[in-house]
Structure 1
Amino acid sequence: MLIKPTNADLMVGCISFMYFRFLSVRLSRVSFGHLDFYKNAKVGIREEWDVRFGSSVHAFLATTTSVLVIVLDQEAWQDPLWGQSRGAKSVLLMTAGYLMADTLLMLDYAYHLGESTKSYIGHHLVTAAVMLVCTLHQAFLPLVVFRNTAELSTIFVNNRWMLEACDMKTTKVYVINGIVMAFSFFLVRILPMPYIYLAFYRHSETYFRMGYIAFFPVAGVILDILNTLWFYKIMLGMIKYIRRQFKQEKTKQT
């Protein structure tokens, strides 16, 4: 059953959309526009920087608010499929607003951002649709908010790209960020998988009576497959770096 969103819910989504659509890029340009690397960068680099800056701001907000809802709204967790939480609805609408705004921003910059933009836009549209449906039906709210904490690793993924753009790929900061990125990716994207699927298994009778809404968690399965592949690539990169450093140390000793 569809449940009409309240005015407060609509306000959260609209504020999020308006900020990330119109103010985030301006804030990025004001914050970094006076720096030489930003001023001298190509148009495509500056535009992607602005997109990733907004992405990191959202990732911080989404992670922080999701953790607060998980900690403070314990009653919702008693029923992970139908548990009601006003805080969870607000968090998901904020993220949906960001995803729609960022999609429009990437369409504006599509010429300079390249082919990878298509996959990001597809991801954004599917994720926003799932969050809106779950919010309107008030289904899976605790589990979707729990998944939303995965945005934590996005901050370090964006940092990695920004450090490369600043020619800092050989610095210790880049290496430390890479280690934290791998750890956070495992912590918030890989480690929670068993818990989420166990929650569905424990409430399987309820789940199979949910009608067409039961198909939407399939998007989460696809995302888990992608996250597993990405984590595999991250670990391969770390192993290559460690081997290269080991060879360099061995060469110095000889």
Structure 2
Amino acid sequence: MLASREMMTFQSYQDQANLFVKDYLLADSWIPYTSIVGGIFACKLIYDLTQLVCTNYFKSYSSFSKIQRIEWNNRAISTIHSVFITTMSLYLVFCSNLFSDNQSTEPITVRSSSLSTFALGVSVGYFISDFAMILWFFPSLGGYEYVIHHLLSLVAVAYSMLSGEGQLYTYMVLISETTTPGINLRWYLDVAGMKRSKAYLINGVVIFLAWMVARILLFIYLFYHVYLHFNQVERMHIIGQILVVVVPLVLSVMNLVWFAKIVKGLRKTLAKRQ
């Protein structure tokens, strides 16, 4: 009898929790805010877990300087975020019907869903956290180019999330995050003293290929897509129109500059092995 009463009490709490999640946390009006808070909380959790695991299981971690340990943990956050947002971006852009030209008469520039808004909110939470860390430890975690990159990304993603405009193009740009794990692994190998290893060379080649596809060719496709659907882009608010054109343009220039450095570094690494 007591066990049955406890089960009923537990079920009651579970029903209340499910109702709270459905009516508040996942309600359309609350999704942007709960997802941002969730994104920030996830960043803090990943940072602490990375520090805990590395302290207990990686002996070389304790020999790093304080700023190296901070950057190590910070890069773990960006790696997890990149896996999450790249997966969501690829699904929403290429697999789902949300932005398909044949699925709706509504302009693709104003289409959104609870899922697409939630994912952008998590990304906003990440960019807020990472941007705050970059400023706090400036310039140890990145120079002015990182400040510009994160500021532009934060403004564009936040606007798209809150307004529901231009989410397709926002996700196209966010696919470029697929290069982040390779960049972070390069730093990890360098700090671990494995710069001359075969893994370092293979990672460099992967970065080169991924960067060319995700940050060069994909941006060309994005601009072509904007050109084909410019009559729909013109229906957006003027702020949205500016962000759709200016942000990818600025990021593409930065991508080309970074790509030149990647090519130079890869050639230098290959030359040393001949």
Q: Same fold per TM (> 0.5)?
A: yes
Aligned to 1:123: 149
Aligned to 1:214: 241
Larger Rg: 2
Tell me how far 1:109 sits from its aligned partner: 3.1
Aligned to 1:252: none
The answer to whether 1:16 aligns with 2:16 is: no
Question: Which one of 139, 148, 173 corresponds to residue 147 of structure 1?
Answer: 173
Structure 1 gap ranges (5+): 247-254
Distance 1:199 1:83 in 2: 16
Whether the 8 Å contact between 1:16 and 1:95 is mirrored in structure 2 is yes
Question: Which one of 227, 240, 249 corresponds to residue 201 of structure 1?
Answer: 227
Distance 2:146 2:267 in 1: 27
TM-score by length of 1: 0.87
Tell me how far 1:121 sits from its aligned partner: 3.1
What secondary structure is seen at the aligned counterpart in 1 of 2:34? helix
Question: Which one of 199, 211, 218 corresponds to residue 185 of structure 1?
Answer: 211
TM-score by length of 2: 0.81
Tell me how far 1:123 sits from its aligned partner: 2.1
The verdict on how the C-alpha distance between 1:193 and 1:245 changes in structure 2, with shifts beyond 3 A counting, is: same
Which residue type is aligned with residue 65 of structure 1?
M
Whether the 8 Å contact between 2:86 and 2:178 is mirrored in structure 1 is yes
Tell me how far 1:5 sits from its aligned partner: 5.8
The number of residue pairs the alignment matches comes to 240
**CA RMSD, 1 decimal:** 2.0
Tell me how far 1:195 sits from its aligned partner: 1.5
Structure 2 gap ranges (5+): 1-26, 102-106
Which residue type is aligned with residue 226 of structure 1?
M
The answer to whether 1:94 aligns with 2:122 is: yes
Which residue type is aligned with residue 193 of structure 2?
D
Matches for 1:17-166 after TM superposition, within 5 Å: 17-20=40-43, 22-34=44-56, 35-78=58-101, 79-110=107-138, 113=140, 116-166=142-192
What secondary structure is seen at the aligned counterpart in 2 of 1:216? helix
Distance 2:133 2:174 in 1: 21
Tell me how far 1:77 sits from its aligned partner: 3.1
Distance 1:42 1:205 in 2: 54
Tell me how far 1:117 sits from its aligned partner: 4.0
Question: Which one of 201, 205, 211 corresponds to residue 175 of structure 1?
Answer: 201
Cα deviation per residue 1:28-77 (whole Å; 9 max; x = unaligned)? 11121122211011111111111111111111111112222234422323
Question: Which one of 30, 34, 54 corresponds to residue 7 of structure 1?
Answer: 30
Whether the 8 Å contact between 1:91 and 1:145 is mirrored in structure 2 is no
**More off after superposition, 200-209 vs 49-58:** 200-209
**More off after superposition, 221-230 vs 204-213:** 204-213
